[in-house]
Amino acid sequence: MSELLIRHGSDVHGTPLDLAVSGGQVVEHGDGPILDATGLYLLPGLLDLQVNGCAGIDITAEPTRLWEVGTALASHGVTAFVPTVITSSPAARDQALQTLTAGPPVGWLGAVPLGLHFEGPFISPARKGAHPAQWLRTPEVDLVTAWSRSAGVLMVTVAPELPGAIDLVRALTARGIIVSVGHTDASAAQVVEAVKAGARCLTHLGNAMPPLRPRQPGPVGAALGGSGLVAGVIADGHHHDPLFLSAVWRALGPRRFLTVSDTTAALGLADGPVRLGDQEVVVSDGTVRLADGTLAGSAASLTDCLRTLRHTTGCSLADAAATATSTAADLLGDSQRGRLDVGARGDVTLVDADLCVVATVVGGRVVYGRS
């Protein structure tokens, strides 16, 4: 870890802020190289809890390149992320866990992978979205005996209406894994049952789930109506109508609104074909879709999503930033990330007034600088 002084920046409220990092942590006073942040905002390091890939790399198809994705994400302001493996062969999940456990290559710098998100295979066939049907499985505790937070599995998406799902939610929760409700045809009552069993999050609210109806509120109604779920939201300008995004923001607020990119290998690429797991998808006009038009993740960065959130809802920079910093850290139970308090990790994202990334600092080390 390096020592660093970040001078002449501003916090999310526009108040002048100097920041010292020593030993990888924020300290009251420090010494070391100076990073001039004049005219810039200092955000706590951004956390993206749903990343399928980046820069032409798909984590499900190429799990051994997970650390390369972390390097590429740093240029988008991300300091830590949750690599996501969609519904796939068991071998893909195993290889991703092995790559994570082996650790980074010598000299590696980038956004830190915090643990894997297995988005499937325990999801609804009726709401599978871009997930390949041949790898879907009925929830069985015996299929996840090796899964635990200590083994590298941080989050699992489950459809709670499937037979055996509630027992699976309890088993995963007992092992420290965050269970997220998603790709589901569940009723609101079934979602509430999953919450009682330990589920704490909702995977990409409003997508791959039934619509909100007055007498059938479903997962969306369960989240907005006060179940306590933190809801992941892909605010890329394509997954939600602006009116829906504004309504969700008003209902959830920054403490339960979790901005995720759900970005794919398409991030940073020109329009054209790219991979998502076993399938070819097409990037066009900012969207990523299967051949039949189904949305298949995004081509947006986390800062793109925060920018869209601000422009759509009119929320403050402080509230927008919270959805990808403190809200994410609180969900993870990570008191060291998501804030710039003394004693926190020295992870900082420097942006200009348009939320364009100028520099990314991880553990007091500059891992990306635009200039």
CA 36 from centre of chain:
29
Please tell me the distance from the alpha carbon of residue 193 to that of residue 82, in angstroms, as a whole number.
Answer: 26
Two tokens, residue 108: 């590696």
Is residue 130 within 8 A of residue 276, CB to CB? The reply is: yes
Closest C-alpha among 10, 56, 68 to residue 36: 10
Other residues' Cβ atoms within 10 Å of the Cβ of residue 118? 26
Q: How many Cα atoms are found within 13 Å in the side-chain-facing hemisphere of 330?
A: 17
Distances (CA, A) of 85 to 59, 94, 197, 279: 6, 10, 24, 13
Per-residue 3-state assignment (H helix, E strand, C coil) for 82-97: EEEEECCCHHHHHHHH
Is residue 56 within 8 A of residue 48, CB to CB? The reply is: no
Q: Which of 236, 262, 304, 319 is catalytic?
A: 262
Beta-bridge partner residues of 7: 36
Give the end-to-end CA distance of the chain in Å, rounded to a whole number: 22
Q: Hunting for tokens 């010494």 — which residue is that?
A: 31
What residues have CB less than 8 Å from 93, skipping those under 6 apart?
Answer: 63, 85, 116, 118
CB burial of residue 60 (10 Å; 0-12, 13-18, 19+) = buried
Active site residue 304: no
Q: Hunting for tokens 């000299």 — which residue is that?
A: 107
277: left (phi over 0), alpha (psi -120 to 50) or beta: left
Show which residues are catalytic: 262
